[in-house]
A and B are shown apart, each in its own frame.
Chain A
Amino acid sequence: MPPESSAPLLRLRAVTVRYDGVPAVDRVDLDLDAGQVLAVLGPSGCGKSTLLRAIAGLEPLAGGTVTFAGEDLAGRPTHKRGFALMFQDGQLFSHLDVAANVGYTLRLRRVARPEIAARVDELLDLVGLAGYGDRSPATLSGGERQRVALARALAVRPRLLLLDEPLSALDASLRESLAADLRDILRAAGTTALMVTHDHDEAFAVADRIAVMFAGRVVQEGPIAEVWAAPESPRTAEFLGYATVLPVLAADVIARAGGLGSGLAGGVPLALRRSALVVDPDGPDAGLSGVVLAVTSTPEQLRLRVEVAEFDGLAGPLDAVARLDSRVAVGDRVRLAVDASRIARLPSPDIA
């Protein structure tokens, strides 16, 4: 994290957007430093895309201010903000070929032709599509279209890049590889970017900071690892991909089994990922144990549902994993180890 000495590049204060009087974005405060990537994460309909459109100047504000580099953007139309916006499905101009799409902004600025051609080649190279210049967008795959859209957005070196679910329209494997590329490309160009997504993996792969949004409000914001390790509420934990939230008494059982050195303290609820409990045939007699209720196999590992014996009715069955070669069947009694890196602490219920 860079030191917070200088003022942030983008500063949102009490930003509110209403549709027919109903707030879609409700008093949102956010800061974004130059060169950083912020992911706004939230379920569909939480107002995150509206927030993005408001920053772009496509939605009028009902209240609050958007400040960029010290200037209040109120009254500055979209096309004079010097930003770029990349949509979920790219929104390439279908009547132009790939090179013309990428060079669009340069032509708007009346850059000389040879210069445009050189810059387009450079950008296509950057996104891994060298030689695609004269293809029509209709002939591209979904991933290629997003790469072209990214190149087009980067062409004028935008002061701020806004990404609306940039990878959501792609299939899982493509999403993973493109997320890594997107991160590298943004880093290489030193681009300040704000991305909205409903996919926590996507946010984790691309962003430095994360803001979690529910029902128009930002409920938590911070560096990605911090938010990950300490979600502000069970709802946030579930949205970040935690499978179960345990109440305090059951959580203490897990914390004790995890051992002191693991950083798990007692007295707070815990959020567990699916792989927080691991079948460990060599575990100590005093450790956790449970009865297997169901077994599913995946290419990576076995996934189990287990009834933890030590809970003694404090909580229901939990998820656990086992190595593919372990012989586990329904009804077996297994020893369980706790992987503390897969567990997050929630605030104490009396504080929350």
Chain B
Amino acid sequence: MSARRLLLLAAQWAVPLAVLAVLFVLPVATMVATGFWVDGSFAPGAALEVLTRPRVHRVVAFTLASATGGTLLSLALGLPAAYTLTRLAIPGRHALRAAMLVPFVLPTVVVGVAFRQLLSEAGPLGFLGLDGTWVAIVLGLAFFNVSVVIRGVGAAWEGLDPRPGEAAAALGASPVQVLRTVTLPALRPAIVSAASVVFLFCATAFGVVLTLGGVRYATVETEIYLLTTTLFDLPAAAALSVLQLLVVTGLLVLTGRTRTGRDPVARRAVSAKRPTRRDLPALAATGLLLVFVAAPLVTLVAGSLRVGGAWSLGNYRALGGTGKDQALLVPVTEALATSLRTAVDATTMAVSFGLLLAVLLTRRSHSATERRIRSTLDGLFMLPLGVSAVTLGFGFLIALDSPPLDLRDSPLLVPIAQALVALPLVVRTLVPVLAGIDDRQRQAAAALGAGPLRTFWTVDLPAVWKPTLAATGFAFAVSLGEFGATSFLARDEQPTLPVVIFRLIGHPGELNYGMALAASVVLAGVTALVMLTVERLRVPSMGAF
């Protein structure tokens, strides 16, 4: 690569890298350093000693086990649904696919509350005795991530050329043999990719484990939270953060590899077929999934409408106040306004920065070195996806608190953190679209006399405006529900809605719990509305990783 080319590349990437360095690397590094440096001298011993504690072993083992369980359950529920919702002509399948994306962006705290409502002793499934068990956590994790499987594998399945399968059938392969020898191998990259992303999300899940696990079950993520906020054991928290960072980086490298390994398959428009008797198992599995997704939500709504054993809107009316015994500092309605304001700011940042990144990532590489640099940068900006939101939030608190970067009292602190969490989702929605544009189109425009800006205007923009709009809605929904980082950073007098919900369920009293349910319904409703609206744009890369 020529020196000039390198210089140009460096100039293009200077701003994004600087932003990432200040807003991501610095906080995380500070958080980690706090643990390793004691009284100004490097003392890793205390942190490393942490890794020998039996409790830490239990926490790590439970993290891996619950993430594995969550991933397997997500695959088991998601694969039949991916088939049913993309390949079978059943009424309302587009609406169903849209609805299936809602759980993914539901605020984690809301899902935790909904599952507790469903599984608690008084709940409809209380007789199963699952409340507070590891099964509840695995169910909660699958509830979130099943949509990742449906989106990721469904997108591949929808574009899958049916002819190899037909060729196999014509050669005498039964439907099961076709599935085993042709379809699944063709989908393997998509399945592996979806599974590794789901594993990543499960292993770093925070809100759902915190609300469902109680004190009995802790994952690395909730343990970091406990160690920093309650026990003030920073070396231990730092050690766990580093451990998590290493595992997550490894997983991201792995998923990056499966992504590049995927053939740029020629997508075909395949019309969905009428379901036959052989599709009954898949249809039944999809029906089961619908019940699984709907049950907690229905229970949540029903619970929010009951006060003192009778149907009432009292919980909703109470949202204008601060709860019993002054559980809150501000009314819930004000928290909702704060949430919306914050989400607008965070979305603006995430989308404008994400668009810039996506454009830079998909520029044509002129050499192998350049391509390697691009794919490394691609992975780098994916990191916030897997890094503990708790680490990020706590790092923000301790790194950005002194001049010249004193953001602690800035109203932008929370939006910036949320934007970082939403950024990878924006980039992953836009990159496939931009990469799908044949570069010769740009060359043709340039050869006809269009400058770089004009070329972008003529070639890229028409393809990218719809996905950008979809990514905007996606980022908005994610930022509305963000809990991990926000719980650290939101000031007490300006909490967001998820923070308020968590505080309400922590306070005793029927009214407080009822208000938590009502607020959860409001938050879920807003999020679902946003997602169902942008889903109408039909952007296949949205929510597929």
Contacts and interface: CB of A to CB of B under 8 A. Distances in A.
A269 B492 CA distance: 95
A82 B172 contact: yes
A104 B163 contact: no
A273 interface: no
A83 B170 contact: yes
A118 interface: no
B185 interface: yes
Given A58-B169, A156-B171, A108 B186 contact: no
Interface stretch (A85-93, A124-132, A225-233): A85-93
B182 A58 contact: no
Contacts of A79: 169-175, 177-178
B510 interface: no
Nearest to A88: B163
B172 A105 contact: yes
A75 to B, nearest CB: 12
Contacts of A53: 166
A260 to B, nearest CB: 52
A196 interface: no
Nearest to B174: A79
Interface in B161-202: 161, 163-164, 166-175, 177-178, 181-182, 185-186, 188
Contacts of B263: 94
Contact of B185 (A56, A81, A93, A108): A93
A108 B178 CA distance: 10
Nearest to B274: A60
Chain B CB count within 10 A is highest, among A53, A93, A105, A109, for: A93
Contact of B170 (A84, A92, A94, A95): A84
B164 A105 contact: no
Contacts of A94: 186, 263
Contacts of A104: 168, 171, 173, 181
B166 A78 contact: yes
Contacts of A108: 171-173, 177, 181
B156 to A, nearest CB: 14
Interface in A35-81: 53, 56, 58, 77-81
Nearest to A87: B163
B172 A85 contact: no
Chain A CB count within 10 A is highest, among B163, B178, B185, for: B163
Given A93-B164, A108-B177, A84 B185 contact: no
A81 B182 CA distance: 19
Given A93-B164, A108-B177, A58 B185 contact: no
Contacts of A85: 166-167, 170-171
Contacts of B177: 79, 108
B266 to A, nearest CB: 10
Contacts of A152: 171
A145 to B, nearest CB: 12
Contacts of B185: 93, 95
A153 interface: yes
Interface in B136-182: 161, 163-164, 166-175, 177-178, 181-182
Interface string A145-174: 000000011001000001000000000000
Contacts of A109: 172
B173 to A, nearest CB: 5
Nearest to B167: A91
B172 A58 contact: no
Contacts of B172: 79-80, 82, 105, 108-109, 156
B169 A91 contact: no
A148 to B, nearest CB: 12
A87 B167 contact: yes
A85 B178 CA distance: 15
A314 to B, nearest CB: 49
A94 B167 CA distance: 13
Contact of B166 (A58, A95, A105, A153): A58
Nearest to B182: A93
Contacts of A93: 164, 168, 181-182, 185
A92 B171 CA distance: 12
A86 B164 CA distance: 10
A78 B171 CA distance: 8
B186 A95 contact: yes
Interface in A92-147: 92-95, 104-105, 108-109
Chain B CB count within 10 A is highest, among A84, A95, A109, for: A95
A79 B175 CA distance: 8
A344 to B, nearest CB: 36
B168 A58 contact: no
A328 B105 CA distance: 79
29 contacts: A56-B166, A77-B169, A78-B166, A78-B170, A79-B169, A79-B170, A79-B171, A79-B172, A79-B173, A79-B174, A79-B178, A81-B170, A84-B171, A85-B171, A87-B163, A87-B167, A91-B161, A93-B168, A93-B181, A95-B186, A95-B188, A104-B168, A104-B171, A104-B173, A105-B172, A105-B173, A108-B171, A108-B173, A162-B170
Which 4 residue pairs spanning A and B have beta carbons closest together?
A85-B170, A78-B169, A95-B185, A91-B167
